[in-house]
Structure 1
């Protein structure tokens, strides 16, 4: 593993862990200001460093990176300049959760590619174990999204 790959994986994991902490804050209407900053910065860095890997033409990874950057831009705008006021509250919740989901989606895909026991279950990524794992992740994030939209009503400062 190169230093660049190690750095990319490290910031991805930090983004996912901090994103899960932020998600618990959404459930409890807690802004988690410090964790939110870590989550947003590392998730932006993950997307940007993802563009630094060699590739030929447009790939699914490039597509996920572009989509992630768009949602992250909306989350950052809703969280900071718009301070979660009015529609910015739900825009932040939805875009932050989608950004975290995309990171976890890639984690699952990479795990099936790089971890031998998982790769043995789904060597091409088209087999049922891969689809089931991604389906479970997707359903959990949909549930988390609806719960967060209902529960996240922070005190505006």
Structure 2
């Protein structure tokens, strides 16, 4: 490994947080009908790097984070194709919105998991992540992202000029 594990972890976390913040900006733009090209490229790059770098941690067997990471990579591949290969034409516009919001949700899902693992008060509330506080938090996050996705689909419509 190029970096020691604590430095690699810090870089991974910083990039993850930047991906989440930029993703929220992008989704806000989608809700308002704006493309936000620079923010979109930054969001997709940081989210892609987050998913890829997650596989850089030492492991001996496939675990739930690897599965979420793999799902995220598939979602991002479709998102990138919709945005940069298909140029949001026709149904690819909705595909882009759904996959962008899904990629952001998956990154946020992992953030919540890590908060419950690494933050002592939250770890006490849900030490095995099977307790109601963890489940309720994840359901609320999912509901928020379903709403954001719906609002983004409604807001990011094609204009008369095809943009």
Per-residue CA shift, 1:91-132, capped at 9, x if unaligned?
Answer: 000000000000000000000000111111111111100001
TM-score (norm 2): 0.93
Give the drift of 1:154: 4.6
Give the drift of 1:65: 0.5
Match of 2:100 in 1: 96
Which residues of 2 match residues 43-82 of structure 1 at below 5 A?
A: 43-82=47-86
Give the drift of 1:136: 0.2
Counterpart of 1:143 (choices 131, 147, 163) is 147
TM-score (norm 1): 0.97
SS in 1 for 2:85: coil
Counterpart of 2:87 (choices 83, 90, 94) is 83
CA distance in 2, matches of 1:141, 1:9: 21
CA distance in 2, matches of 1:27, 1:140: 14
CA distance in 2, matches of 1:95, 1:32: 16
Counterpart of 2:128 (choices 117, 124, 130) is 124
Runs of 4+ in structure 1 over 6 Å off: none
Aligned residues: 157
Match of 1:40 in 2: 44
Per-residue CA shift, 1:63-101, capped at 9, x if unaligned?
Answer: 001000000011111111111110110000000000000
CA distance in 1, matches of 2:158, 2:80: 16
Question: How large is the Cα RMSD of the aligned pairs?
Answer: 1.1
Q: Which runs of 5+ in 2 are unaligned?
A: none
Match of 2:111 in 1: 107
Counterpart of 1:28 (choices 11, 19, 32) is 32
Q: Which runs of 5+ in 1 are unaligned?
A: none
SS in 2 for 1:2: helix
